[in-house]
Structure 1
Amino acid sequence: MTTVNIGILAHVDAGKTSLTERLLHTAGVIDRVGSVDRGDTQTDSHELERQRGITIRSAVVSFTVGDVKVNLIDTPGHPDFISEVERALGVLDGVVLVISAVEGVQAQTRLLMRTLVKLRMPVILFVNKIDRMGARYHELLDEIRSELTPAVVALTRVEGPGTPGARAFARTVGTDDPDFAAELADILAEHGDDFLARYLEDETSLTAQDYSAELARQAARGQLYPVLFGSAVAGVGIDALVDGITRLFPVNHGGSGGTLRGTVFKIERGWAGEKVAYVRLHGGELGSREKVSVFRRDQHGAVTEIPGRTTVVEVFDRGSAVVESRARAGDIAKVWGLKGIRIGDRLGSAEGLDGEHLFAPPSLETVIRPSRPSAMPELYDALLQLADQDPFINVRKDDEEQEIAVSLYGEVQKEVIAATLADEFKLDVAFEGTRIICVERPIGVGESVEEIDYRSKTFFWATIGLRVEPGEPGSGVVFRRSVELGSLPHAFHKAVEEAVRATLQQGLNGWEVLDILVTLTRSGFASPVSAAGDFRKLTPLVLMNALKQAGTQVYEPVNRFELEVPGENASAALLSLVECGATPESTRGLGSSCLVEGTIPARTVQEFEQRLPGLSQGQGVLVTRFHSFQPVVGAAPRRRRTDLNPVDRSEYMLRAFGRI
């Protein structure tokens, strides 16, 4: 049996989860279509998802069409949970991007489509809700071409859009739609030289099968994007969508050969608190009670191999049900027994570990405290478990101040974390105000050396010299040596590099230091008394002294925004944007609405979001995404340190030797 793994993506409220229910019902997996409003859908199984009516965690369901098994991942539509979408995209063969026939292309739709085009991901655009009042057909197709991509072809036509009796009919070559062949030929010829040559030689020799085969080839390569219309609630157009999923997306033919290659894209906890990994297999096989190598890239960039053994391996069967079975290439499996497993790990092979992030990490953070001070250890443990499911929350603990900070994409995510802690861990918590996450970059060159002093008391049996200077934009932290590799034991070299990277998590103002080049210029040790710990403890002092000489500039995150408001409210919205420090760059009409694009400091996004309902009679839609870091104007914001504070030598020495 062949397998295809698809994801359903959309702007919030476009009908993703309802479409998933309808697909399961059409395939005979469920007897009754669940409702988001009733809270009885297959994929929104979490109590909080049912209460809020939104998808928070990606969920996997399966159904079979003929000899094709479809594994479907339903992803969140709210931008606060974009990290869930990123993890899903790495394991998919194709995407169904859902668009509302009424609201049309929205800000989040544009963000998602840009990412999918960049990935050359096969995409079917499904226009939902054609039976809703205000639904559009020709006008919406023009909007899709102008707002998303011109490389689209409508495979269905709609009769009676915007009425309860709306129907979608397939467009095929050689039937009662004479314009379809010419329209399809134009779009296919743009990306298919062989097809173009045959068409120019004798277009009458091309059969409907030729058109269909070329369409499937180009759609599977992400060169063009079929558009289908329908209604998930009414079940209209679903058969055409099912046919498109099995015919236009690349399928996996399974088989038991090849090296094991798998990607961990989701972690959840079992009933006993054990980790359960969701794994997409790209090659080979995986079964229960088998040894498996887990590969991951550590914070220093090195690939490490961790031995493990599975206890149970299950594959998705019908709906959300799973059965114990050997997983083969193309399958999505739930794996028990790999205790230290993390999201992003690779099984069997390190291939794919170098993949870049599709979306920017969170640019906000907040301090979270338990209502009972004695519950701090419980809270920390609970947040670490949540970080298994979403590593981007980046839990940071300050033992001295007795506080824990987490990173966020937005305020809705904060509400979800609080509700999850209350429901699953029985912890009542409070949040401090949300603040932005800045970074620091060096602005000059600094150098520092500390040597072993044999004539007086020495605290560290190590000689270290470091030079810091600005690195290439986007380079992060680059560490290199100008000393001979054999001048120190390998363990000492490794201790210095690890300490450099760990120390630069907090710069002179407490923010992570990026785009910096650190060079080891001096090294020495005293055998046999020197130990790796001497180099690990001395490095932060030398590094921070060099960084003081170089100086740093604090940069704040700036977001790119897309704001859609009614035309009559555009002037007020623009004025408010400017008051919040935004820079509007373009303004254009979208029917009765106005689309404004530009940049806005991340620190003022929440303020503008609070103003927006009043500015737009509740009809405004704002979507932001990280754009860049820009220098802070005025006094640089500082963040409290959570390390031993190597900026202050006296305090560091007292802490390092346990005096404080």
Structure 2
Amino acid sequence: MHVLNLGILAHVDAGKTSLTERLLHSVGVIDEIGSVDSGNTQTDTLALERRRGITIKSAVVSFALDDVTVNLIDTPGHPDFIAEVERVLGVLDGAVLVVSAVEGVQAQTRVLMRTLRRLRIPTLVFVNKIDRRGARCEGVLRAVSERLTAAVVPMGTVAGLGARDARFAPGLGPVALDVLTAQDDDLLAAYVEGSLSDARLRAALAARTRDALVHPAFFGSAVTGAGVPELITGIRELLPVAGGDPDGPVSGTVFKVERGPAGEKIAYARMFSGTLRARDRVPYADAREEGRITAISVFDQGTDVRRDTVHAGRIAKVWGLADVRIGDALGEPRGAHGHFFAPPTLETVVVPGPGTDRGALHLALTRLAEQDPLIGLRHDEIRQETSVSLYGEVQKEVVQATLAEEFGLDVTFRETTPLCVEHPTGAGAAVEFNGKDENPFLATVGLRVEPAPAGAGVDFRLAVELGSMPYAFFKAIEDTVRDTLGQGLYGWQVTDCTVTLTDCGYSPRQSHAHQGFDKSMSSTGADFRGLTPLVLMEALRRAGSTVHEPMHRFRVEAPADTLGALLPVLAALRAVPRTTGTHGDLAVLEGVVPADRVHELEQRLPGLTRGEGELESSFDHYAPVARSAVPSRTRTDHNPLNRKEYLLKVTRRTGG
């Protein structure tokens, strides 16, 4: 039996969850079609999802198409939950991108398609809602070609557009010939010679689709079922099945973690190679941990069923890995894929309500961070405050509702603020020697901090011989450097810099035969972990740093006659238009805007544009803060910028 791991992706409200319901009904997995409005769909299982009518967490259901088992993954459409989509993309064999025939290509549609094309994930397009008043086909298809991909091939035509009985008539038209012959000279030659058969054209279409070079487009309605049988045929014939050797080394990726009724962790994993068995011991977290598999479930006919094994290509729920995290490799790692989308650019402090236990709140937030690591918990021990990283205001509302409904905790939030970073402005160096001056640690550490190109991250280098002291001490220095750079001179994470170890030294363990031997006078890793923050922060102080705030690129489409009202508001929000163009009565503005002003722009745009404006935004870059008051962030470490305070906390000694 072959396996196809299929993602359903779309802008919010395009109808992907409804399409999932229709697919399951069409193949006989469910007898009745659930409704998003009624809150009884198969994949939106959270009470919060059903009440709000949006998908928040990815969900897996399964069905059979002939000899292919399709694991269908429904993903969130709202941009605030893009991290959930990111985790799914790495385990897909193919995707269906849903576009509304009424709203057309929307902001999130473009973001998703760009990523699908960059990752070369074979993708079908399904234009939904052809039965709705205001539905368009030619206009939407043209927008798909212009704004998503020129290599789109309509798989038929629509009759009765905008009516309840709208239907899809399959059949390849001239566009298919144009797109395919433009990519294949042999195909073009066969057409010119008059020997190009329909079978060869369809075989070429399937091959190009599986290579993610062509994107077939189907039309239909998830509500009435029009076009869905043809889409199912397309899924079966045009998308590739999963590969992987079941007899190869065990290799899988965890893309979701949830808690069971007893609080146990359950990992959702895609197996790329090998066979995982219950009671096997398997390394995970890049071999930093090892655990025994206590149970396995695989997905079959709409639900998950217990099995003793899971083979390459399949998705499984796995029990027994107590410390497993999203992104962990099971068995042999496949290599880090990096982030497909930008990390969160906003943060807020969680404020417990009257009577809310802080310990219970911290535990609940930790549980939420297991399911979504990018919420980035940050706890201030002194003020007993916890902050979370966010993509937007809707995500904040969901966190608040989840804490109330699942954990019984009443919370509010402080104002959302931008999540800034610091960049070194120059080079700076510092050193402290073992046994000299006021250094209370049995260690010598010298560090130089220098700026690096944007996007470089943190690069740690050695300007000393690797064999000059035990490797564990080098590792302690490097790990501490990376941890310490989480809070720079202004409290923000320091990035895009090179840190070089320029000096090192230690007190070796003396022989027992040596008179006056004192084990406590030999260096330990704790000495290097204690000294490194002091040296690093002094080097950074001498280098200097600037605070950079996150900037989003934006694209606004609005009636041209509303520009007069729109431009002053953009200026007030510190948005900088870079290009302005008009297409008939439509104006298109593109530029950059601070991340913390995007939500206000979203709220004000409808009133400024008679409800006709459309905003697309996504993270673009970090820019130096252009305000007189440089934003700072409360420190949560032992504050190595204050030597006396730091030493009191770390060594209980003042160091002078």
Counterpart check, 1:641 vs 2:631 = no
Structure 1 residue 325: Cα displacement? 4.4
| Residue aligning to 2:339 | 357
Q: Is the CA contact 2:187–2:196 (under 8 Å) kept in the aligned structure 1?
A: no
Matched, 1:198 2:190: yes
Match of 2:570 in 1: 577
> Which structure 2 segments of 5+ residues have no match?
510-521
- For residues 551-562 of structure 1, what are the structure 2 equivalents within 5 Å? 551-562=544-555
Shift, 1:54, TM fit: 0.3
- TM-score, structure 2 length as denominator? 0.95
Establish whether residue 100 from structure 1 lines up as the match of residue 100 from structure 2.
Answer: yes
Distance 2:448 2:245 in 1: 54
Specify the alignment match of 2:404 in structure 1. 422
User: Could you tell me which residue of structure 1 aligns to residue 72 of structure 2?
Assistant: 72
1:598 aligns with 2:591: yes
Is it true that 1:324 corresponds to 2:307 in the alignment?
A: yes
1:41 partner letter = T
CA gap 1:7/1:591 in 2 versus in 1, 3 angstroms? farther
Q: Tell me which residue corresponds to 2:413.
A: 431
Pick one of 475, 478, 489 that aligns with 1:508.
489
Give the aligned partner of residue 24 of structure 1: 24
Counterpart residue number, 2:517: none
Match of 1:230 among 202, 220, 234: 220
Relative to structure 1, is the Cα distance of residues 600 and 493 closer, same or farther in structure 2, using a 3 angstrom cutoff? same
Change (3 A) 1:438 1:458: closer
Contact 1:3–1:254 under 8 Å retained in 2: no
**Partner Cα separation in structure 1 for residue 265 and residue 585 of structure 2:** 50
What is the rounded CA distance, in whole Å, between the counterparts of 2:218 and 2:586 in structure 1?
25
Q: Distance in 1 between matches of 2:541 and 2:293?
A: 49
2:330 to 325, 347, 351: 347
| Separation in 2, partners of 1:323, 1:72 | 18
Q: 1:570 to 1:247 in 2, by over 3 A?
A: farther
Residue-by-residue CA offset, 1:147-182 (whole Å, 9 max, x unaligned)? 11111110010011111221110014xxxxxxx2x4
Instruction: Give the structure 1 partner of residue 157 of structure 2.
Output: 157
1:609, distance to aligned residue in structure 2 (A): 2.6
Deviations 1:293-322 (A, max 9, x none): 2143xxxxxxx4321111001100111343
1:294 aligns with 2:277: no
- Equivalent AA in structure 2 for residue 375 of structure 1: D
**Deviation at residue 568 of structure 1 after TM alignment:** 4.5
Change over 3 Å in CA distance of 1:653–1:150 after alignment to 2: same
Cα deviation, 1:489-530, whole Å, max 9, x if unaligned, reads 111111111111111000000000011111111111112321
The question of 1:280 aligning with 2:270 is answered yes
Partner of 2:603 in structure 1?
610
Which residue number in structure 1 is paired with residue 618 of structure 2? 625
Distance in 1 (alpha carbons) for counterparts of 2:413 and 2:185: 59
Q: How many Å apart are 1:577 and its aligned residue?
A: 1.4
1:373/1:459 CA distance change after superposition, 3 Å: farther
Give the 3-state SS of the residue equivalent to 1:87 in structure 2. Answer: helix
Alpha carbons 1:2, 1:254 under 8 Å: kept: no
* Residues 45, 619 of structure 1: alpha-carbon distance in 2 compared, 3 angstrom cutoff: farther
Q: What is the deviation of 1:101?
A: 0.6
5+ long unaligned stretches in structure 1: 173-179, 297-303
Given that residues 134 and 162 in structure 1 are in contact (C-alpha distance below 8 angstroms), is that contact kept between their aligned partners in structure 2? yes
AA paired with 2:85?
A: V
1:185 and 2:167 are equivalent in the alignment: no
Matches of 1:349 and 1:254, distance apart in 2: 13
* Contact in 2 for aligned 1:471/1:515 (Cα 8 Å): yes
Instruction: Look up the match of 1:145.
Output: 145
1:476–1:515 Cα contact (<8 Å) kept: yes
Cα distance in structure 2, aligned partners of 1:508 and 1:362: 22
1:99-139 CA-partner distances (Å, limit 9, x unpaired): 11111111111111111111121111100000111111222
TM-fit CA distance, 1:595 = 3.9
Q: Is 1:478 the counterpart of 2:470 in the alignment?
A: no
Please give the alpha-carbon distance, in whole angstroms, between the structure 2 residues aligned to 1:371 and 1:649: 36
Partner AA of 1:108 in structure 2: Q
The residue type paired with residue 33 of structure 1 is I
Letter aligned with residue 618 of structure 2: R
| C-alpha contact 2:295 2:306 (8 A) present in aligned 1 | no
1:383 aligns with 2:365: yes
How far is the alpha carbon of 1:614 from its aligned partner? 2.4
Question: Percent same amino acid at aligned positions?
Answer: 53
Is residue 14–residue 98 contact of structure 1 (8 Å, CA) maintained in 2?
yes
Distance verdict in 2 for CA 1:8–1:231, change over 3 Å: same
- Which of residues 343, 347, 350 is equivalent to 1:368? 350
Match for 1:461 among 442, 445, 449? 442
Structure 1 stretch displaced more, 140-149 or 569-578: 569-578
AA partner of residue 237 (structure 2): R
1:132 aligned counterpart, secondary structure: coil
Distance 1:253 1:524, change over 3 A: closer
Structure 2 residue aligned with 1:247: 237
**2:422/2:495 contact within 8 Å kept:** yes
CA deviations 1:330-388 (Å, max 9, x no partner) are 11100000111111111111122x21211000000000022146611111111111111
SS at match of 1:190: helix
RMSD of Structure 2 on Structure 1 (CA): 1.8
- TM value normalised by structure 1: 0.94
Partner residue of 1:176? none
